[in-house]
Structure 1
Amino acid sequence: MSKNKLTFEYCDQLVKDFEKAVEHPIVGKSSVYYTGVDLGTAFVVLAVLDENYKPVAGAYRYADVVRDGMVVDYIGAINIVRELKQELEEKLGTELLYAAAAIPPGTDALDSGAVKNVVQAAGFELTNLLDESTAANGVLKMENGAVVDIGGGTTGISILKDGKVVYVADDPTGGTHFSLVISGAYKLPFADAEKYKRDPMNHKELLPVLKPVVEKISSIINRHIKDYDVKEISLVGGTCCLSGIEEIIEKKTGIYTHKPQNPMFVTPLGIALSCGQKIIE
């Protein structure tokens, strides 16, 4: 596929609509609402869609309940999801019944039970549980290529062929490593380094400092895609908000690399799109 055809228009428009709905929830008369619950290392995000799978509301909160893709604070995760659920219910004037959730690629045997229990304990009926990169592709709609989800603790990779996932991997490198480098370089406490990293005004200054970590992520991508004919890479996950990260990855992999306008919201929206009304027991 040529670069001219790599527009990802649906993805960028959906994210834009969601950002508007976060600021100004759309109160209507939808017969049902579908929620995507994204338990990230840095943020917990809830995305709500109406019966036509259009964004109507959303909320997110910084959290330290997941590390390296695993739930480490079970009660804390439940409380945050429950509080965000109640906040959105008050804004929409209705109860949110159904939710889907996701886990890092290849970790279903390790952590799917914990994620499932968090969502259910927060008051949702769980209708789907899928891997994060596959969820993201519900928004990206890539047919052939690699979805790279760079979160706080891990980098998840899903390789797609004809729209189907043929390979998944998850490596322990992500935004936490960015923060550790910033903490060391600027002599900042870890929490302050996290805040400094999240300010877009600092990205131009930080990019050279963080380049070695981005190059390591690039080498991880290269290692996992070497046996596949990958023509395009799409970046998602909060860590990809770093300005210029896509240019370094494209240069190191030699593969066209696309980044949505707000990569942090792609996966939760994809999770919400996968939600239905068939409950997982």
Structure 2
Amino acid sequence: MKHWEETREDLIFSLDIGTRTIIGIVGEYTEDEKFKILAYTIKEHNRRNMYDGQIHDIEGVTKIVKEIKKDLEEKIDAPLKRVSIAAAGRALKTYKIKVEQFCDSLSEISKRTIEALELEAVQRAQEEINAQDSNKSFKYYSIGYSVVDYFLDDNKMEKLEEHRGEKIGVELLATFLPQVVIESLYSVISKVGLEVGSITLEPIAAINVAIKEELRLLNLALVDIGAGTSDIAITKDGHIISYAMTSTAGDEITERLAKAYLLDFNNSEKLKVELSQKDEHEFTDVLGISYKMSTTEIVDNIFDIIEKIAIEISERILEYNGKAPSAVFLVGGSSQMPRLKETLAEKLGIPKERVAIRDTTFIENIEGLEDIKGPDMITPIGIAMEGIQDKYRNFLKVLFNGEEVRIFNTENIKVSDILVLTGFNPRKLIPERGEDFIYYIDGKKRIIKGENGTSPEILVNGKLANLKTALQDKDVVAIVPGIKGKTKIPYLYDCIVRDKIISLNKEEVNLIRTIKVNGKVIEENIQLKMGDSIEIEEIKDIDSLLKYLDRDYNINDLLINGKKIENNYCLKNGDLITTKEDKKSINLIVNGEDKTIVFDKEEFIFVDIFNYINFDLSAIKGKLVLKTNGKEAEYMEPLKDGDKLEIYWE
């Protein structure tokens, strides 16, 4: 075995462990900030070591990785100790979920409340994914989510912040990665005698090479069409907003060719690859029959499966993006299938120029690409680039509320990711209003709302933070609970009217007779207890009043506030009740309107009329005209029934 005297720390080694092939690349980062590829190796699995991007035969994969490692070490004449790897995007699970909760309609909806609602939805999605998985030993971790819609009182809303309502909701797409995928990758790397230098997700690696960061402000979709699946990543506003996948990809085309022309798998795979490279093809089926056909003829014959792949990819993009994106970039070996990109454009309803195959010719600041051209090399180069940038440091270790938490480091670990992982109840992040005080008056429920509580605080390394705060390795995260609001406990007289006074011929009477609390007569202003029942015995009408006072007045002889008593009149505080004998009345015509005025003076004079009509004397608007029966009137002039008064400004 060859031995090297020293290890080159500047070497970047990346592995793309795929369903059909494993690709290894070694390069170095030059002084002019370019990545120079020194060597690469591609080896196919000799048996089904992988299913849909997930390692099933660890020993089988380990054997091939050892061969790649040895081959690359010989090519560069240096040992390899550290490798950058990626978890397959096809292992991701994306789950759509809607969560609703009731809220305080008196308070504005805060940003903290919305974030807590989103966090609860992600946690619920994680619980449901873990519950659905037949292998209960699998543990799924959240690696991101995107909001589809907000809801306020069952109506769709673009934003919830600062609105008021009784019920809020959110529908979102949450993406998860099973821990077993990471563990199997680590197992292979360990058996080969390598260390994991960095780890990322394949869709992230691919998109970071295929779509420059400044382009991610656009709504774009990247589709990596491999052998087992087609992986989708969608960007918007500078971020990857969601991941998706379909279970139809290159193997579907291989199998379709095998059935159409009676080919074994290897010859069918070879023909599939050559469809994007040549116009004419010669091959022999398992019966020994030879064929000579054009690419157009073959593609026409198997177009149904090409269309099926395009339909499923377009449906996934529309489902997770909500609409057609601005453009679609295709990578992966099977992306080169003739007519696939045009059919995908048609199914998405976008111009065919907006669906493009992304190969290595688009990559900037990389040397040594002369022999590496195809779109299948995008992901391994992306994994290497992630290793250079060192953005994905295996797992982060974070101290959360005094306990160490390890989390797989994806693109941007936030406080909310730790809360999802640990199962922290997001409702504990919302200020807790004090308990409502409930009491009853004459059997009717009354509520005094509790006081608002103080907001819990999120601290990162002792500094105030929020759910969106990005985390680094060894950060210390703590949740300082808020203080629950107080319950407002009232006194009896805060809840009832203690006195309701009326006057009967100048005699004052309190209509409130007795006040009972829980059946006991109370005469003091006591502090109430939760659930107390208050009963008020009250004189409510004239009949009851006369009976209580033992008066034999005829109701028809009584006036209330100078007017005739109406049927079913309910007594009110301050009512003045008099007998008709104590009052005098006069019928006048004031500015053309008939008026009956009740008074208690010896005589009614002209100036008294201003106490019974709405006429503002304080704002002078000209000369005041006063007339009685068409003649100029005097202020102190006595009036009699039927007099016609005129009062106006001239």
TM-score tier, shorter chain, comes to 0.7 to 0.9
Q: Relative to structure 1, is the Cα distance of residues 163 and 119 closer, same or farther in structure 2, using a 3 angstrom cutoff?
A: farther
Looking at both structures, which has the greater relative contact order when contacts are Cα pairs under 8 Å and sequence separation is at least 6?
1
Partner residue, 2:313: 221
State how far apart, in whole Å, the 2-side matches of 1:271 and 1:152 are: 19
Q: Please tell me the residue identity of whatever aligns with 1:184.
A: K
| CA-CA distance at 1:237 after TM superposition | 1.1
Contact kept? 1:125, 1:279, Cα under 8 Å: no
Partner residue, 2:257: 182
State how far apart, in whole Å, the 1-side matches of 2:182 and 2:303 are: 33
| CA-CA distance at 1:39 after TM superposition | 1.1
Q: Relative to structure 1, is the Cα distance of residues 93 and 179 closer, same or farther in structure 2, using a 3 angstrom cutoff?
A: same
Write the deviation string for residues 81-124 of structure 1: whole angstroms up to 9, x where unpaired: 11111101111011122222222321630522212322332232
Greater than 4 Å deviation, 4+ residue runs = 202-205, 276-279
Does 1:280 find its partner at 2:418?
A: no
State how far apart, in whole Å, the 1-side matches of 2:243 and 2:37 are: 28
1:130 to 176, 183, 200: 200
Percentage identity across paired residues of the two chains:
28
1:81-100 maps to which residues of 2 (within 5 A)? 81-100=65-84
Partner residue, 1:50: 28
Partner residue, 1:38: 16
Contact kept? 1:41, 1:152, Cα under 8 Å: yes
| CA-CA distance at 1:180 after TM superposition | 0.7
Contact kept? 1:104, 1:170, Cα under 8 Å: no
Contact kept? 2:341, 2:356, Cα under 8 Å: yes
Contact kept? 1:179, 1:194, Cα under 8 Å: yes
State the SS of the aligned residue for 1:41. coil
Q: Please tell me the residue identity of whatever aligns with 2:299.
A: L
Partner residue, 1:195: 270
Return 5+ residue gaps in structure 1 as ranges: 1-28
Contact kept? 2:307, 2:340, Cα under 8 Å: no
State how far apart, in whole Å, the 1-side matches of 2:315 and 2:324 are: 13
Normalised to the residue count of structure 1, the TM-score between the two structures is 0.82
Q: Relative to structure 1, is the Cα distance of residues 133 and 211 closer, same or farther in structure 2, using a 3 angstrom cutoff?
A: farther
1:259 to 336, 342, 357: 357
Partner residue, 2:246: 171
Partner residue, 1:246: 341
Q: Relative to structure 1, is the Cα distance of residues 266 and 210 closer, same or farther in structure 2, using a 3 angstrom cutoff?
A: farther
| CA-CA distance at 1:205 after TM superposition | 4.4
State how far apart, in whole Å, the 2-side matches of 1:157 and 1:225 are: 8
Contact kept? 1:34, 1:272, Cα under 8 Å: yes
Contact kept? 2:49, 2:58, Cα under 8 Å: yes
Contact kept? 2:203, 2:233, Cα under 8 Å: yes
State the SS of the aligned residue for 1:249. helix
State how far apart, in whole Å, the 2-side matches of 1:241 and 1:67 are: 22
Q: Relative to structure 1, is the Cα distance of residues 241 and 116 closer, same or farther in structure 2, using a 3 angstrom cutoff?
A: farther
Q: Please tell me the residue identity of whatever aligns with 1:40.
A: G
State the SS of the aligned residue for 1:49. strand
State the SS of the aligned residue for 2:394. coil
More helix by share: 1
Does 1:61 find its partner at 2:43?
A: yes
Contact kept? 2:207, 2:233, Cα under 8 Å: no
State the SS of the aligned residue for 1:95. coil
Q: Please tell me the residue identity of whatever aligns with 2:23.
A: V
**Rg bigger for which structure?**
2
| CA-CA distance at 1:177 after TM superposition | 0.8
Q: Please tell me the residue identity of whatever aligns with 1:111.
A: V
Aligned length: 253
Q: Relative to structure 1, is the Cα distance of residues 127 and 210 closer, same or farther in structure 2, using a 3 angstrom cutoff?
A: farther
State how far apart, in whole Å, the 2-side matches of 1:163 and 1:119 are: 33
State the SS of the aligned residue for 1:275. helix
| CA-CA distance at 1:273 after TM superposition | 0.6
More displaced 10-residue stretch of structure 1: 229-238 or 87-96:
229-238
| CA-CA distance at 1:73 after TM superposition | 2.2
Partner residue, 1:211: 303
